[in-house]
C-alpha cells in the first residue's frame, strides 16, 4: 500500500465526501479511496464488497462453548506466585 497526502482539496469535494461517509456510516478514508478508484477507472475491477449483515444476530447460545470460554478466564494461582 502507498500513502498519499492530498493538498488543496476543493471544499465542495471535501463536503461531498464527508456527507457520503456520514450517510453510509463509513470512514472518510474508505469513501475517498473508492472515489479515487472510480475516478481512475478502476471501479469495475474492485472485488465485491462483503459485510456481515446476513449473519448479524444469528448467534445461538451454546452451553459447551460458554464452559470452554469461562475456563479460559480462570487464573491458576500456582502460575502467578
Flag whether the pTM goes above 0.75. Answer: no
User: Which pLDDT score, from 0 to 100, does residue 62 have?
Assistant: 94
- Quick: pLDDT tens for 6-38: 999 999 999 999 999 999 999 999 999 999 999
pLDDT value at residue 51: 81
CA distances (Å), origin 6, targets 3, 9, 70: 10, 7, 49
Is 78's pLDDT higher than 90?
A: no
Amino acid at each position: 500500500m502507498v500513502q498519499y497526502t492530498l493538498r488543496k482539496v476543493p471544499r465542495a469535494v471535501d463536503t461531498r465526501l464527508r456527507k457520503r461517509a456520514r450517510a453510509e456510516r463509513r470512514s472518510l478514508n474508505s469513501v475517498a479511496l473508492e472515489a479515487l478508484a472510480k475516478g481512475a477507472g478502476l471501479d469495475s475491477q474492485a472485488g465485491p464488497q462483503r459485510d456481515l449483515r446476513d449473519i448479524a444476530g444469528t448467534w445461538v447460545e451454546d452451553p459447551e462453548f460458554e464452559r470452554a470460554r469461562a475456563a479460559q478466564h480462570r487464573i491458576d494461582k500456582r502460575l502467578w506466585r
